[in-house]
Structure 1
Amino acid sequence: MPLSGLSRCTYALWLAVVLDVVGLATLLVGVFGNLQRGGRDYGDMLIYTGAIVVFVSLIGWVFWYTGNIEISLEELASDYCVKDSKLHRIVRKISRSISLRNGNGRADRATLRREAGQRQSRWESGHPEEEEAGEGPQECATMG
Structure 2
Amino acid sequence: MPENATDPWEYCLYIPNDPRAVTVSRRTLRLILTMHGLIRLADTAELLATELISNAVRHTKGPAALRVRWAAGVLRIGAWDADPRPPEPPVPLEQITDLEDGRGLALVRACADLWGWQPLAREGNRGKVVWCELAAA
Higher helix share: 1
Bigger radius of gyration:
1
TM exceeding 0.5: no
Length-normalised TM-score, structure 1: 0.26
Length-normalised TM-score, structure 2: 0.27
